Structure 1
Amino acid sequence: MKNNNTIFNQFSEDYDTWYETKMGKFVDELESEAIFSLLDLPENAMMLDVGCGTGNFTYKFADMGYSCVGIDIAGNMLKHAKAKQQDEKIQFIEMNAENTSFEDESFDCIISVTAFEFMPYPDLIYKEMQRLLKPNGSIIIGTIQKGGSWYQLYTSDICKDTAYAKATFLSLEDLKNLDNNQVVDFKECLYLSPTLNEEEYDKQHEAEYKKKEDKGGFVCVKFKKKN
């Protein structure tokens, strides 16, 4: 975990600029729609965002009315997350997700989006998530999917000087195998190619690529904790 902490502290200054590009905005839109489609939460739910980074999804859930806690091991990323805070009631805490300080069954929903790729021990993280989850609560994990076109980009030389050089990507089956007995749903998206021109990042091209690609570039899996 220490090495990953160093990596994301190093790239924290420019991290949010991705969301300012047309490509970044559209990718974020697709990933958000996939995650939101899996939500099934009580009103005033307490949520935990694991590997929250600069708070992209933490703020989205806070805007939806949920109480949110975001944790990350990269202090510099959390500084940027906190700097964006206005009236939202969000806690951002520097913490190792393998061994948190929260009490058992503290959260109604736990999410982690594009963070599991950088966690060397996903089984341990998932086990800790289960400890923190209330009965009938949900865990939603979203990642860049192994084998897709975006995986090919992030594992190419183009990204050798980025945080993705240290990533270990997971497939849909890899995610399901974290806890097959509690998988209840999943979504894939981001079928379009990362090599398209900027103006081609739209729903039409996403639909066209979905017809010919067998894997989405992004996949998210929902786990439901049994009583």
Structure 2
Amino acid sequence: MAVFDKIADSYDSWYLTKMGSFVDQVETELAFGMFDSYPGMKVLDVGCGTGNFSIKLAQQGCKVIGIDISDEMLDIARTKAEKQKLDIEFCNMDVYNLQFETGCFDAVFSMAAFEFIVKPQAALDEMMRVTKKGGQIFVGTISRDSKWGELYLSEPIRSSSVFKYACFKTLEDLRQLSSEKLINSGQCLFIPPDIDEDKISIETEQLLSKTEKGGYICALWKK
């Protein structure tokens, strides 16, 4: 059984909270501010989970295939896509052994999956293999070197959640992966996880960006 099978049913409930909704907003804005999508673009979404970003990519007109190793998460993703009448293919597949031909995708995209990838260079190499020459490879993940990383590494959170299996990275860790092909990197989620709910806002996020490290980091490569 995949780690996320046990929490699949409750996974999306986070996005219904004020904090979860805000986190999704700022992460999405950063991701699509860096990743250049266009209608008809063939995109592989690695570690798609319940399809959050597969759906967002499809809504932008991309032709999306989402992969994950959790059948339970994939079932939820299929249901969500069907309800929105989006034609997205979801498959159970491991990032270290992608069952696709070399250079068959315009881009490969991954959000909130590299936290659980213990061999990031091997994963990125395989993602790059299936990307066509000149295509984009995008990765977003929780930053180890942040208050959010500290939270997920702390007890009892780590021992009582899926984060016991996490292998968090820093922004510098991402930048060192295939550094010769890295073209951009960024961070967001400067508000801390323990902030008062009434202070959760873009204004606070912008203010704290001057003094805090982002809790979420992204990197973009070009093949």
TM value normalised by structure 1: 0.94
Counterpart contact for 2:2–2:69, Cα < 8 Å: no
Counterpart contact for 1:149–1:194, Cα < 8 Å: yes
What are the Cα deviations for residues 7-34 of structure 1, in whole angstroms up to 9, with x where unaligned?
Answer: 2111111100000101000000000001
Secondary structure class of the residue paired with 2:57: helix
1:113 matched to 2:111? The reply is yes
- The structural deviation recorded for 1:41 is 3.6
Superposition RMSD in Å: 1.1
Q: Which residue of structure 2 aligns with residue 149 of structure 1?
A: 147
Q: Which residue of structure 2 aligns with residue 102 of structure 1?
A: 100
CA distance in 2, matches of 1:201, 1:112: 26
The more displaced of 192-201 and 215-224 is: 192-201
Pairing of 1:1-227 with structure 2 (within 5 A): 6-86=2-82, 87-159=85-157, 160-213=159-212, 215-225=213-223
**Paired amino acid for 1:178:** L
Give the ranges of 4+ consecutive aligned residues of structure 1 lying more than 4 Å apart after TM superposition.
Answer: none
Counterpart contact for 1:184–1:224, Cα < 8 Å: yes
TM value normalised by structure 2: 0.95
- The structural deviation recorded for 1:177 is 1.2
- The structural deviation recorded for 1:42 is 4.6
CA distance in 2, matches of 1:127, 1:51: 15
- Residue segments in structure 2 that go unaligned for 5+ positions in a row: none
- The structural deviation recorded for 1:57 is 0.4
What are the Cα deviations for residues 110-147 of structure 1, in whole angstroms up to 9, with x where unaligned?
Answer: 11111011012212111111110011100010010111
- The structural deviation recorded for 1:212 is 1.5
**Paired amino acid for 2:48:** C
How many residue pairs get aligned? The number is 220
**Paired amino acid for 2:88:** I
**Paired amino acid for 1:155:** L
Counterpart contact for 1:41–1:108, Cα < 8 Å: no
**Paired amino acid for 2:22:** F
- Residue segments in structure 1 that go unaligned for 5+ positions in a row: none
What are the Cα deviations for residues 30-53 of structure 1, in whole angstroms up to 9, with x where unaligned?
Answer: 000010011224541000100000
